[in-house]
Structure 1
């Protein structure tokens, strides 16, 4: 198949570490021209060098997604660089963990400003260019947090649920633009340094959920979305399983999530409170992976896929039974 990635101008926010860094390197291997954005200029310059070593071109644009003028500057710089913007990847995100009332209010606000308003700001900045070009792909790294609540991460959950609603509305607005695509990615838990960069007011050391995927699955999903845009993708079989679980039994799923989180916090080692990278960038763990074990092994992955299929069958049976019941009631 013809390589449709080479030469494309692809803006990536939150590119300095984790999924963003992985996406940039993965696409650079195929000859894309990544526009690298985050608050950490030094990390971006290092990444740009890695991309250029792969034989492509890269542009560094230090950007704070909580500042709309900064995001508009990013879009303008990307467009002026090559005369177009082919793809925009909303990826910059932060996490704040702790009991809702014990977390400083400013921290909750910062999560919303970054995760929700930052993505909206990106869409607001790039859409005029897409409409001018009459084409473009907007890809949003929302994560399974858009369906599955995260106890002790209330602002994070609020931002992710809101993103799902916002981009559904935006897709409705863009129906008359057939070559402008909005793609939402709801990935499973990823092994990135994000957990180490988090604002933490739990009083305990934070670790990712037991089942984590290499962030490469997100990079592969972004590539697939460029080659074949579609409204939603679920990188990692566990993602779809979590979504179906919440769809079938939302109250039970929420209670189990809270129980598991409380059990973990009860056993975890103590840690001092920190704002992490909420208000300022950090200078550690600016890499692709968080080196968390275990990763999802192929056998477990097959089981998760089977579980997702069974859950889907369960929903179908539930819906059919519900229709039959409603007929009897009438």
Structure 2
């Protein structure tokens, strides 16, 4: 698209080799941007770069493990040296781990925290110095509903996402005197990406995202929107906002409810061998934008209201039964 505000803008995207990161790169490519694509899987990353070039973008590829601060600093330096400035930085790279907390190796918990929490902090630390020198810049963080909704059997994931939310809320307060530097947090509901297939899995069972799952194109389009018109918080998927409010109203119930739902699912799920997935290193499968998880609904206020009412009714019924037993 000619004469678009994003034409020629330098945009860095971490975790661009698959899933929401790859889809975000493809969306930005439509506007003839200059994309710096970061990830651990160079084969998949180069595939993304080629698709973006075909769409009209210039691309630079940089192998980066966001858990390694030196690599993230090198990424920021390469992007700055390439075009002289960085307009948008998208923190997106993340990993998942499932299993009973004390059955998952502690070093795996630590690596999830290093990627999901410290990785986002590394990105912010590296690019903010450039933004301040320029006097402008937009930092976009793909956090997920996991930033405020606990995930039993994914405790280290919850720790990382709750931490990311708190970190960026504090950072926004620090940047109040920098009116042209923006921090934009995205909270998508569960996405139909390969991430769940790449996850470390110590449950011994096949795991799937909780329905409904949403097309990652919604995250990609949200990134473009906030790059054009920065917004502190964006909820993606009709379940994202209701889940937040239900957790605020009845947090203990949500922890109980989600734990019970996951246990019931695992009781019936098919057996699978334990795996550390892509937590410690990249994998060589499922590097597309989508994860073939199905059940991608169209946004609907009616469905959102129904989900909220259903969960609240479940809460009150559970509470009433508990009081009756006592």
TM over 0.5: yes
3-state SS, counterpart of residue 61 of structure 2: strand
Mapped partners of 1:42, 1:89: distance in 2: 21
Pairing of 1:137-176 with structure 2 (within 5 A) = 137-176=138-177
1:276 counterpart residue number: 277
Counterpart secondary structure, 2:125: helix
Q: Which residue of 1 aligns with 2:256?
A: 255
Q: Alignment partner of 2:291: what SS?
A: coil
Residue 302 of structure 2 corresponds to: 303
Deviates further, 30-39 or 193-202 = 30-39
- The two structures, once aligned, show a CA RMSD in angstroms of 1.6
Residue of structure 2 in register with 1:25 after alignment: 26
- 3-state SS, counterpart of residue 263 of structure 1: helix
Shift of 1:309: 8.6
Matches of 2:33 and 2:244, distance apart in 1: 32
Aligned residues: 310
Q: Kindly report structure 1 stretches of 4+ aligned residues shifted beyond 6 Å.
A: 308-311
TM-score, length-normalised on structure 1? Answer: 0.91
Alignment of 1:169-208 (within 5 A): 169-208=170-209
CA–CA distance in structure 2, aligned partners of residues 162 and 131 of structure 1: 24
Q: TM-score scaled to structure 2, two decimals?
A: 0.92
Uncovered stretches (5+) of structure 1, i.e. residues with no partner: 315-330
Stretches of structure 2 that go unaligned for 5 or more consecutive residues are 313-326
Structure 2 residue aligned with 1:97: 98
Cα pair 1:22 1:288 within 8 Å, conserved: yes
2:239 alignment partner in structure 1:
238
User: 1:10 and 1:16 mapped to 2: Cα distance?
Assistant: 15
1:121 to 1:203, Cα distance in 2 relative to 1, 3 A: same
Map 1:38-53 to 2 at 5 A: 38-53=39-54
Task: Say if 1:244 and 1:308, in contact at 8 Å, map to a contact too.
Answer: no
Moved more, 204-213 or 289-298: 289-298
> 2:190 & 2:271 partners in 1: Cα distance?
23
SS of 1:58's partner is: strand
Partner of 2:72: 71
CA contact 1:240–1:308 (8 Å) conserved in 2: no
Q: Partners of 2:92 and 2:85 in 1: how far apart?
A: 20
Look up the match of 1:320.
Answer: none
